[in-house]
Structure 1
Amino acid sequence: MAAMTQERKVQKLSERTVVDLLYQPMKANARIYLGAIAVLNAGYVAPGTSAKDLVALGIAEETIDNTGGADGARFAPVRQGAFKLANSLGPDAITQADVGKDCFIVDDQTVARTDGGGARSRAGKVVQLEPDGVFVQLGIGL
């Protein structure tokens, strides 16, 4: 498309500064549970897993089952924001020193301090550490 030569009206996705609820097409044969870390896998929503090149979107707002369906056959509502997730154990556990730093997806509910030697995708920023989990800011553009 060529550069503009006159004014144009631009459509906003939301009146909010940050869009917090997204509806994205599901990956083929994927099932995501309410409360799971939702990622983009090749542009389609799937549950979080320990894999490279995933884009963390947020948390699934509903359980959506696209088992047997093609890419994009179902849509999943995904909420961006800061959510409490399970913390990894042992040397990969997130500590107070990690607040403000990136953390990485282990599975659809767990995050870790490291990328597992390049095997994990980034989840988001550690916001707050709690005894029973870690708050992580999840969303596009973080």
Structure 2
Amino acid sequence: MAALTKDRDTAERRNRDFSIPAAASKTFYAGALMCVSATGYGTPGATATTLKALGRVKRQVVSPAVDGQVTVEYERGLFRFANSTSTDLITRADIGSPAYIVDDQTVAKTNGSNTRSAAGIIRDVDDLGVWVEF
């Protein structure tokens, strides 16, 4: 494509609200960690190496037994999730590092010996959990 020679009406999409076709037979709870699978369908957060974190599920959806029959709305932003435990507990010293997906509501300090996908960047830690940026 050649460089512009006149004004262009460039489409805009706000970087917050999105939706994605859901993987088959999944339950997405509002507030859950939202991911996309290796096949391109939305799936709740889980321990797996093939997921890419997207954000937070906006409202509950139960998908039927066929991929892509319903869509799941999700939000990008900065959200608080539950902190892992023991040696995977995230502390203030981890701010700025990646958090890793344990399940649809929990993040951990490590990739669990290469068994977990990255969730996002740790931006804060408080008594109630870990603030992760998507």
Task: State whether residues 103 and 111 of structure 1, in contact with CA within 8 Å, keep that contact through their aligned partners in structure 2.
Answer: yes
Task: Give the partner amino acid of 1:31.
Answer: T
C-alpha distance in structure 2 between counterparts of 1:40 and 1:106, whole Å: 15
Where structure 2 has 5 or more consecutive residues not aligned to the other structure, the ranges are none
Q: How far is 1:116 from its partner?
A: 0.3
Identity rate of aligned residues, in percent?
Answer: 35
Task: State whether residues 30 and 67 of structure 1, in contact with CA within 8 Å, keep that contact through their aligned partners in structure 2.
Answer: yes
Task: State whether residues 31 and 67 of structure 1, in contact with CA within 8 Å, keep that contact through their aligned partners in structure 2.
Answer: no
Aligned partner of 2:113 in structure 1 is: 117
C-alpha distance in structure 2 between counterparts of 1:5 and 1:103, whole Å: 41
Aligned partner of 1:98 in structure 2 is: 94
Give the secondary-structure state (helix, strand or coil) at the position aligned to 2:42. strand
Are residues 85 and 28 of structure 1, via their aligned partners in 2, closer, same or farther at CA, if it must alter by over 3 Å?
same
Aligned partner of 2:130 in structure 1 is: 134
Give the secondary-structure state (helix, strand or coil) at the position aligned to 1:78. strand
Q: How far is 1:23 from its partner?
A: 1.1
Task: Give the partner amino acid of 2:125.
Answer: L
Q: How far is 1:28 from its partner?
A: 1.3
Are residues 12 and 64 of structure 1, via their aligned partners in 2, closer, same or farther at CA, if it must alter by over 3 Å?
same
C-alpha distance in structure 1 between counterparts of 2:33 and 2:11, whole Å: 26
Give the secondary-structure state (helix, strand or coil) at the position aligned to 1:117. coil
Runs of 4 or more, structure 1, over 3 Å off, are 5-11
Aligned partner of 2:45 in structure 1 is: 48
Are residues 91 and 20 of structure 1, via their aligned partners in 2, closer, same or farther at CA, if it must alter by over 3 Å?
same
Residue 80 in 1 paired to residue 79 in 2? no
Aligned partner of 2:58 in structure 1 is: 61
Task: State whether residues 106 and 120 of structure 1, in contact with CA within 8 Å, keep that contact through their aligned partners in structure 2.
Answer: yes
